[in-house]
Amino acid sequence: MLNQVVICGRLVNEPVMEEKEDKKTTTITVAVPRSYKNLDGTYDTDFVKCTVWSAIAENCCEYCKKGDIVGVKGRIQTTTIEKESGEKEYSMEIICEKLSFLSSGRKEE
């Protein structure tokens, strides 16, 4: 079995450092355009939640800004949340194992 995913896209928000389980972490959202046009003739975009841990999270917060293009390699993790009604809700995220800084969205002055 294999659980591996690679995406490339732009950061939707600024990375913010958090402390969880005595480890540094950040959650980023990467906007990934689809490779084909929809019926309206435009490209749809998927917004993918990614969790980054430890030194990779520190580097992400220090060097990445909103609008930067990043490559993410990691694994998909599914979380199940049971609502009060007993209904189960599933959410997926990528647990980042490698983050590549591909380009900056900032313009040089």
CATH number at residue 14: 2.40.50.140
In a domain, 21, yes or no: yes
Residue 42 lies in a domain: yes
Residue 95's Cβ-count burial label (10 Å; 0-12, 13-18, 19+) is: middle
pLDDT of residue 16: 93
Distance CA 55, CA 49 (A): 19
- With respect to residue 58, please indicate whether it lies within any of the assigned structural domains: yes
Q: What is the pLDDT of residues 18-51, one digit of tens each?
A: 998 889 999 999 999 999 999 999 999 999 999 9
Residues spanned by the domain of 86: 5-103
* pLDDT(103) > 80: yes
Q: Is residue 54 part of a domain?
A: yes
Residue type, 32: V
pLDDT for residue 105: 58
In a domain, 23, yes or no: yes
Residue 28 placed within a domain: yes
Q: Has residue 109 been placed in a domain?
A: no
How sure is the predictor about 52, in pLDDT bands with cuts at 50, 70 and 90? very high
Amino acid, single-letter form, for residue 11? L
The count of domains in the chain is: 1
What is the percentage of the chain residues whose pLDDT exceeds 90?
86
* 108, part of any domain: no
